[in-house]
Chain A
């Protein structure tokens, strides 16, 4: 039960973070469309790092 609540909290946090990353990346791309490739790569890396953190927390709590 408690770990389900924990998992929910993790997903909320991770979702918020991913939204931030994606949103800011979109803004960046809209501002400088010629840098889209670089922004995308950086975005994927940061998203992957965040994902690692979230999965780590989920698995530790399981």
Chain B
């Protein structure tokens, strides 16, 4: 302790104190303030840039999600449209088929009705014809009967045979 106090130089202490005070003052004013200010500014700049990048990324993600959603919707819409079109097509085909069938049916029926009519008419005509023929035959037969019995029979037979051939 004694040597310590003996070694202590008050003059050096005073000079050191003054110089250190001066040094601290000058360094703070001309060096540390600008340096720390610039470093803080730079750090804040970096932080801001990072934040902005993060924000942009999030926005990008949102945008992408939106796009995805829109795409999904469009896909769904397309599918429903295709489905509807397909249904329409089958329906149209079915309808056309039914129509055609109905038409055909109708035409066949008409044809059948016409045929029936013709047939009836023909039958009627045939009946009248046969009746006339029968009457004629009968007239002839009667006339022949009156002349020759055998001949009459023969005639009837011939006539009938002819009639059948006719």
A and B touch in the complex (CB under 8 A): yes
Residues of A within 8 A of B (CB): 59-62
Task: Report how many residues on chain B are interfacial, defined by Cβ distance under 8 Å.
Answer: 4
List which B1-29 residues lie within 8 A (CB) of chain A: 1-4
Q: Provide the main secondary structure of the chain B interface.
A: helix
Closest 8 CB pairs of A and B: A60-B1, A59-B4, A62-B3, A59-B1, A62-B1, A62-B4, A62-B2, A61-B1
Residues of B within 8 A of A62 (CB): 1-4
A59 CA to B8 CA, complexed, in Å = 13
Contact surface of B with A, Cβ cutoff 8 Å? 1-4
CA distance A60 to B2 in the complex (A): 8
Smallest distance from the beta carbon of B127 to chain A beta carbons, Å?
A: 124
- Distance A22 CA – B37 CA, assembled complex (angstroms): 39
